[in-house]
Chain A
Amino acid sequence: MLAPKTLLYASGAMLLGIVFGAMPGLTAALGVALLTGLTFSLPTEQMLVILLCIYVGAIYGGSISAILTNIPGTGAAMATAWEGHPLAQRGEAGLAIGTAATASFVGTLIGLGALMIATPLLGRVALRIGSPEIALLSLAGVLMVGTLGDSGGALKGWMSGMVGLLISTVGLDSISALPRFTAGSADLAGGIPFIPAMIGLFGVVQVVDSLSRGQAAPVVSLPRVLPNLRTMVRHLALSVRSGLIGVGIGITPGVGENIASLLSYIAAKHTSREPAAFGKGSYEGLIAAETANNACVPASVIPLITLGIPGSPVTAILLGALLLHGVQPGPMLLVENPAFLGEVIAVFALAAVLLFGFALLLARPISHVLRIPPAVLLPIVTAVCVIGAYSLNLSHFDIGVMAAFGVLGLLMRFGGIPPAPLVMGLILGPYFETNIRRTFMLSDGSLAPFVTRPISLGLVLVLAAVVAFQLRFSKRRGVAIAAPSSGAIGGRPAEARTDGRREPDRV
């Protein structure tokens, strides 16, 4: 892990991650999706180092632009903008970024602790998991992310997930080898390639959307950045609680950092002795948001490793990357490859240290990147997207898939349909299908395994409760299709939409 080459990769990925997070228009999901294609030829360990470092770095990096320009670099930095930018306006930009860096470091450590403790425990439970449970967990991942997505209603989120599941069935059937929805195309017989689809959904959409806004490069100036340990120690209980919220959200399949930071922010506001200070530059709000979103990152890997179910949209892409490298996450992973958890823990520990160092030392130079006009930077990002989409299979068809999913993503954005559930459906679809068919084959077509096995029954009840609650919630609000938008969750819709440049479904 400490080999010079690995350290070089980790440092480069961390730097790239922070830059990706800091640049509005570039997201953690895009960074991980792009690098998945580009790291295909590397050994699994180095691929893991690069992707996890870029993930951790991007989630922190969003706070830099949020604090300096009031534009959250990622969706997870929305609450950071609400508190960080007023602090910058008061002349405390350096201290605010230092606090965000320290909180992110603490959050990553809390998430790392959870990863170390919870993964083996959950791994033991996971060994009792069979086909019925995996099918239900896959469905739960799709439904959960559909319910708790940033934009659109729950029904639209679920539909997005179902469309993803439908798209995942294109190609040769894994059991009977029968072509499905291929229209006689040899390219489609291999299925819809996952990475180009992701790059299109996240990259092309983001590039077109950001460039259509016609933003000028913001004017930024950043004084010296110092760690704010004193404030962190003063709010130790808040940090721990926010970290635990981040861990809880991270473990929940399909939710992710955006919701973690917002929930933690709301909790901090409700329990604060100075709730009136929130929105005017509160360090409590800043710490709550940044600790939670970074704690969520390692925690979201827990269900991925133990159950094979991603804890966030970014880990969904990570799942695809692992599968490409022949690593099959799920109940058997820790049995067949017990060293894998240690590798992941070591990578996160390295990422936490690098994050803290880079965040403090390189915040000023990185802030200069924000001066590059989006009209110059984002077209270049498109060219890198094309390389990422092509390099995986060396297929020109994949570039077309990227463009097609870009157009689809724009149409979805236009219709208020969140793309994250589609990603979940696309990735979890094959798991769901294979395992549900296997269950029926083993049980002679009986539904009994879903209700006679304790874990299955529990999952069925949870799924039913989620759907029932969401439908009842929608009805109570007097609307047919509704879900809380992130602005509404944060209780700051006006600010989020005008000053904070709300960007739905960015992860």
Chain B
Amino acid sequence: MKTGAEEPQTGATHASSGDLGTGILLALLGASAVFGAFRMPLPDRTPPLVGYLTYPGAVPLAAGLVVFLGGVAIGLGGWRNRRRPAVPIARAWRPVLSSVRLRRGGGVLLLILLYVACLAGRLLPFWAATYLYLALTMVWLRAGTIAGIIGISLGVAVLLEVVFGMALRLPLP
């Protein structure tokens, strides 16, 4: 069993160079929220102060501003520490990025997104999409023999259809 050797340490105790990217993303999100909030119409109210404080964009504007400022602070912290050699987040993620874990996780995420696309786009019925998703994921993760994987996938897909769709009468996607 794999243990903590590959574990990413997200519980960082120092601002890290990786925070620069996080900060930029947050600042961009905050800025776009502020921009969006400014474009919302001001209702006519008297006195005007009440209009400003209660218009639909007031809370998004305030939250966007806080996110923008927080993003700048996090980004600056990351910028100041860009050359720090021992950075917990970056150091911990480095082996993950270059390891088999990224491929495994990336493959699984891709399969989940394909599964969701099939269902959200109504390309396949639930049982067929589920069967394909389960089979492909188990093959990708080498969960067993091909015959076993096909059997389990088909069995589970049918079971889910029967239990949720027929017994519990829940509409399935």
Query: Which residue numbers of A lie inside 8 Å of B, CB to CB?
Result: 38, 41, 150-153, 155-156, 158-159, 162-163, 165-166, 169, 173, 175-176, 178, 180-181, 204, 207-209, 211-216, 218, 373, 375-376, 379-380, 382-384, 386-387, 390-391, 394, 396-397, 399-400, 402-403, 406-407, 410, 413-417, 429, 432-433, 436-437, 440-441, 444-445, 477, 479-482, 485-488, 497-502, 504
Determine the residue in chain A with the shortest Cβ distance to B134: A379
Cβ < 8 Å to A, chain B residues 84-101: 89, 93, 100-101
* CB pair B54 A208 closer than 8 Å: no
Determine the residue in chain A with the shortest Cβ distance to B173: A390
Contacts of A410 in B (CB 8 A): 109
Q: Name the residue in B1, B164, B168 with the highest tally of chain A Cβ atoms < 10 Å from its Cβ.
A: B1
Cβ < 8 Å to A, chain B residues 12-28: 12-16, 18-19, 21-22, 25-26
* Residue B40 interfacial (CB < 8 Å): yes
Q: A383-B133, A400-B120, A497-B7 are in contact. Are A212 and B105 (CB under 8 A)?
A: yes
Contacts of A414 in B (CB 8 A): 93
Q: With both chains docked as a complex, state the minimum distance between the C-beta of B19 and any C-beta of chain A, in angstroms.
A: 7
* Residue B128 interfacial (CB < 8 Å): no
Contact pick for B141, options A211, A396, A440, A487, CB 8 Å: A211
* CB pair B152 A376 closer than 8 Å: yes
Can you name 28 A-B pairs with beta carbons within 8 Å?
A38-B168, A156-B22, A166-B60, A166-B67, A175-B54, A181-B36, A208-B108, A211-B105, A215-B2, A379-B133, A379-B138, A386-B119, A391-B170, A396-B121, A399-B120, A407-B113, A413-B10, A415-B22, A415-B25, A445-B50, A479-B77, A485-B11, A486-B11, A498-B4, A498-B5, A498-B7, A500-B4, A504-B10
Report whether over half of chain B's contact residues are helix, strand or loop; otherwise say mixed.
Answer: helix
* CB pair A445 B53 closer than 8 Å: yes
Q: A-B pairs with CB below 8 Å: how many?
A: 244
Q: With both chains docked as a complex, state the minimum distance between the C-beta of A250 and any C-beta of chain B, in angstroms.
A: 23
Cβ < 8 Å to A, chain B residues 105-150: 105, 108-109, 112-113, 115-116, 119-122, 130, 133-134, 137-138, 141-144
Determine the residue in chain B with the shortest Cβ distance to A440: B53
Cβ < 8 Å to A, chain B residues 49-103: 49-50, 52-60, 63-64, 66-67, 70-71, 73-74, 76-77, 80, 89, 93, 100-102
Contacts of B5 in A (CB 8 A): 498
Q: With both chains docked as a complex, state the minimum distance between the C-beta of B98 and any C-beta of chain A, in angstroms.
A: 14
Q: A181-B36, A379-B134, A391-B171 are in contact. Are A499 and B59 (CB under 8 A)?
A: no
